């Protein structure tokens, strides 16, 4: 007996952690810093930590009240009905629920390339097909409606990412509206705003609510997560905000209690901890600026909590930086073998990362501007990465 044909599926590949790398190299974990997975350098909200402690003794009960309370808090924040908020086990869990609600067998989704591979992975899990549109390095990975619509061919779901991972670019609300207007009535435009707290752009929810000069739409949904600005990556908590007309579909597609008691209580506490989020965003802005000013290679402008750096040979640079105690993301798996991605860390972490990277570039004799073009690699594996 065998499972169904999974030959066109790819395995999840997470960013490497400090413990894993330290064991492999036979070294003390204290020697390393990790700036590879876009995690919060300040850790979780202290209020969330306390909420987890207080909740631990009651995890024998199902999280019905906590689930409802967090849903209501998110809905109030965004000005939507509770039924429009779909809690999930991380942002990727929200993708699964959207696909359960939207995709018939052989329906297709349209996703950016490079981009977050779980868009396509989830679609395939639900018997959907995957098509792509290109974000071009020669155009600084600019996101426009035209680039999406040129590739669009009636797909059921179109994914936009703002800010985009791994490049850090955003897409204007007017461009999102243009995509929604020009796609079919039965196409849902999903805007992934996992890094939205770090960006100087408004949420695409303005399009669903008829704000800021836009007409209200019923074909746009957004994704958000507690993993980044709130520092709760380890509890796996995210959500979608969907059009009001089909909010009740959630009860038909979600797993029982889609987020755990600990996750919901931590999320509620973190949601109210403005000081922690503000501190995190301030650190990110300072780190982004410092890296753009001091790295001896091309650094693209970013609206996320990371920067993309052109280094010529990503595998060699990432490996050597790891040997020197700084773990960064080799973007070969994104189809960008000449680039690395560096998470915005604390002041000390960011300074160490820049110093290490500049020394590695000099020692390896790579061009200081990182100008080497990424060779096309049609066999590059897809990767699902935060």
Contact (CB, 8 A) for 158 and 183: yes
The pLDDT, as a whole number, for residue 256 is 87
d(CA 296, CA 359): 9
Q: Are 270 and 262 in contact (CB under 8 A)?
A: no
Tens-place pLDDT, residues 277-297: 999 999 999 999 999 999 999
**Are the C-beta atoms of residues 336 and 309 closer than 8 Å to each other?**
no
- Report d(CA 129, CA 121) in Å as an integer: 10
DSSP H or E stretch at residue 190: strand 188-192
- Please say whether the beta carbons of 127 and 12 come within 8 A: no
Per-residue pLDDT of the chain (386 residues; tens, 9 = 90+): 777 777 777 776 667 788 888 888 888 888 899 999 999 999 999 999 999 999 999 999 898 899 999 999 999 999 999 999 999 999 999 999 999 999 999 899 999 999 998 999 999 999 999 999 999 999 999 999 999 999 999 999 999 999 999 999 999 999 999 999 999 999 999 999 999 999 999 999 999 888 877 888 999 999 999 999 999 999 999 999 999 888 889 989 998 888 999 999 999 999 999 999 999 999 999 999 999 999 999 999 999 999 999 999 999 999 999 999 999 999 998 999 999 999 999 999 999 999 999 999 999 998 544 444 544 444 444 444 55
Cα separation, 187 vs 209, in Å, equals: 18
Domains of the chain by start residue, with CATH: 18-44+275-364 (3.90.1150.10), 46-53+61-271 (3.40.640.10)
Whole-angstrom Cα distance, residue 28 to residue 196?
35
Helix, strand or coil, per DSSP, at residue 191: strand
Contacts of 92 (CB under 8 A, 6+ apart): 118, 122, 238, 384
**pTM: predicted TM-score of the whole model, two decimal places:** 0.92
* Residues 114 and 260: beta-carbon distance below 8 Å: no
Name the H helices within 152-200.
173-182
With DSSP H G I counted as helix, E B as strand and the rest as coil, what are the percentages for the chain, rounded to 5? 45, 15, 40
């Amino acid at each position: 007996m065998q499972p169904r044909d999974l030959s066109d599926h790819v395995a999840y590949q997470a960013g490497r952690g400090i413990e894993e790398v330290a064991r492999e190299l036979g070294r003390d974990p204290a020697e390393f810093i990790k700036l590879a997975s876009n995690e919060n350098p300040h850790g979780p909200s202290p209020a969330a930590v306390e909420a987890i402690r207080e909740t631990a003794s009651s995890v024998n009960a199902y999280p019905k009240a906590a689930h409802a309370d967090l849903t209501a808090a998110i809905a109030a924040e965004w000005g939507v009905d509770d039924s429009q908020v779909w809690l999930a086990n991380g942002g990727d869990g929200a993708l699964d629920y959207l696909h359960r609600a939207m995709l018939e067998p052989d329906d297709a989704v349209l996703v950016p390339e490079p981009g977050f591979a779980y868009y396509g992975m989830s679609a395939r899990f639900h018997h959907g097909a995957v098509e792509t549109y290109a974000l071009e390095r020669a155009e600084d990975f600019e996101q426009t409606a035209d680039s999406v619509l040129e590739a669009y061919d009636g797909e059921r779901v179109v994914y936009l990412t703002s800010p985009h991972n791994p490049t850090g670019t955003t897409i204007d609300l007017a461009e999102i509206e243009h995509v929604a207007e020009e796609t079919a009535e039965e196409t849902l435009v999903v805007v992934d705003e996992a890094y939205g707290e770090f960006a100087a752009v408004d949420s695409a929810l303005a399009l669903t609510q008829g704000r800021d000069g836009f007409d209200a739409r019923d074909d746009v949904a957004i994704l958000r997560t507690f993993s980044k600005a709130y520092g709760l990556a380890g509890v796996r908590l995210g959500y979608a905000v969907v059009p009001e007309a089909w909010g009740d579909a959630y009860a038909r597609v979600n797993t029982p209690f889609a987020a755990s008691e600990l996750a919901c209580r931590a999320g509620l506490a973190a949601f109210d901890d403005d000081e922690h989020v503000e501190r995190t965003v301030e650190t990110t802005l300072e780190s982004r600026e410092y890296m753009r000013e001091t790295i001896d290679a091309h650094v693209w402008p970013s609206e996320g909590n990371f920067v993309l750096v052109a280094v010529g040979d990503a595998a060699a640079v990432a490996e050597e930086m790891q040997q020197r105690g700084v773990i960064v993301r080799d973007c070969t798996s994104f189809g960008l073998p000449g680039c690395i991605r560096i998470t915005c860390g604390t002041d000390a972490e960011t300074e160490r990362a820049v110093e290490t990277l500049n020394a590695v570039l000099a020692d390896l004799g790579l061009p200081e501007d990182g100008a080497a073009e990424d060779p096309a690699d049609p066999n590059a594996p897809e990767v699902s990465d935060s």
